[in-house]
Amino acid sequence: MSGPFHLTPLAEIRPGMVLSDVVRDGKGNVLLAHGVVLTESMLASLARHGIDMLPIVQAEPAPPPLDPVAVQGRLDHIFRKHDRDDLGDWATGILRRYVEDYRLQREVSQ
Partner 1 sequence: MNRLTPEQLAAGVQDLPSLPAVVMELLSSIEQEDIDISVLAKKVSYDQALTAKTLRLANSSTYGLQVKVTTIQQAITFLGFQTTRNLITAAAITGCFPSGRCAGFHDKGFWRHSIATAACARALARRMRFNQDIAFTAGLLHDIGRLVLVTGHPDAYTQVVAWHAQHGGDWQDAEQAILGIDHVDAGVALADHWNFSSTMRQAIAYHHAPDVHGAGFLAAIVHVANAIVHALDLAGEDDELVPRVSSVAWDAMVLNEEAYLHLFRETELQFGEMSTILMA
Q: Which is nearer to partner 1, 5 or 79 (CB)?
A: 79
Answer for which of 8, 13, 21, 22 binds partner 1 (CB under 8 A) is 22
Site string for partner 1, 28-67 (x = CB under 8 A): --x-xxxxxx------------------------------
CB-based contacts of 87, cutoff 8 Å, min separation 6 = 93
Contacts of 61 by beta carbon, 8 Å cutoff, 6+ apart: none
CA distance 30 to 24: 4
Least Å distance, CB 67 to partner 1, is 15
How far, in Å, are 4, 9, 15, 39, 56 from residue 31 at the CA level? 21, 17, 16, 14, 15
Q: Which residue in 68, 74, 84, 104 binds partner 1 (CB under 8 A)?
A: 74
Rounded to a whole number of angstroms, the minimum distance from the CB of residue 82 to partner 1 is 7
Interface residue with partner 1, options 8, 55, 58, 96 (CB under 8 A): 96
Residue length of the chain: 110
CA distance 57 to 7: 9
Residues that bind partner 1 (CB under 8 A): 15-16, 18, 22, 30, 32-37, 74, 77-82, 89-92, 94-96, 98-99, 101-102, 108, 110
